[in-house]
Amino acid sequence: MTSAFDFSTPAQPHPERTKAILRQHPDVRDLMGRNPWTAAILIAVVLLQVGLAALMGHLGTTYWWLALIAAYLVGAFANNCLYVIIHEATHNLIFRDRRLNKLAAIAADLPNILPAAIGFSICHLEHHAYQGDYDRDADLASHWEADLVGNRWYAKAIWLILFPVLQVARPARFSSISVMNRWTILSVVAAVTFDIAIVLFCGWTGLLYLAASVLFALGLHPLGARWIQEHYTLDAKQETFSYYGPLNFLTLNVGYHNEHHDFPSIPWNRLPALRAKAPEFYDTLESKQSLSRLLAQFIFDPRYSLHSRVVRDRMQAQRGPAA
């Protein structure tokens, strides 16, 4: 295990590949745009989660174990889908009006219990612009976080369980990024109101179901392996990876991560078409075929740690920014 991130001299690969693809396949521009039907999926999945929370509440607290099973088998997929919708709204890929996209993100975030949509949106756009910059990219673990976890299998498993909470807390390390604005306040108010309504009408078992759903969706679950798939690497020559397996059907093609970074203005339903138009650029890259296998490899392979990432500043790679 290394106690430092991998250091890369070249700039992130996506802008240059974007230019190269457009030179050879200018018709890729036709794929750019929005998909307002994503809003219909948003409504359907939120109603599904509220309905299942109500069912768990009706069964009562003695069925807490069933709520956990349902969260693992169903709720994780629903909440992961909602998280992808937040991601689409972040890139304004649902509506033309930015305000409507922010409202969509807040609505999709409601079953996630914790109000993270607006903070995620701000940090995610920074991640695209400054991939691998320890001072700007919240997708990178903090050095203390990586040092604490190390490459011990049980520590990595615990880290995945706690990942949703850690992700919400990460923006606090950036002095140059603020996630507080009027939209954040609206998001907090909406989330608190929703949580109170769930407890009042669905009971604590309903709230447990939703909380477990988000923990599984983003944590110790095959779906949680997407965080490893996207940018964790054992070879610094490639720092972004796609997943082309069947779970993309349930996660709105979120596995097409190289494609998304190259063209963040293409909505989720057209990302497979992008790969099909430019196979010479994507078929030559290493990709992941099984999230379950990747999850097990990340936990049990001692070569993997939270430092298995690429950064672009040698000092940041070694110890992070000076205090």
Which sign does the torsion angle of CA 277, 89, 225, 249 carry? negative
- 1 band by pLDDT with thresholds 50, 70 and 90: low
Instruction: Say what the pLDDT of residue 318 is.
Output: 64
- Residue 240: pLDDT above 50? yes
d(CA 218, CA 228): 11
211-249 burial, b for 16+ CB within 10 Å, e for fewer? bbbbbbbbbbbbbbbbbbbbbbbeeeeebbbbbebebbe
Is-contact 89 30, C-beta < 8 A?
no
Please identify which residue in the block is written with the tokens 């991560």. Answer: 257
Chain center to CA of 82: 10
Q: What is the predicted pLDDT for the residue at 245?
A: 94
Instruction: Using pLDDT thresholds of 50, 70 and 90, give the confidence band for residue 323.
Output: very low
Span 264-293, average pLDDT: 97
pLDDT on residue 321: 46
Q: Is residue 315 over pLDDT 80?
A: no
The residue with tokens 């669905």 is 202
| pLDDT for the residue 65 | 97
Mean pLDDT of 296-300: 96
In the structure encoding, which two tokens stand for residue 85, read together?
Answer: 């919708």
What are the two backbone dihedrals, phi and then psi, of residue 261, each rounded to the nearest 5 degrees?
Answer: -65, -35
Alpha helices in 61-181 (DSSP H): 64-70, 76-90, 98-109, 117-129, 143-149, 153-169
> In the 8-state DSSP scheme, what is residue 237?
T
| C-alpha distance from residue 265 to each of 40, 96, 248, 312 (Å) | 20, 12, 19, 25
Phi, psi (degrees; rounded to nearest 5) at 130: -130, 45
pLDDT of 107 strictly over 60: yes
3-state secondary structure of 6: strand
Region 53-77: mean pLDDT is: 96
Both tokens of residue 132? 């691998």
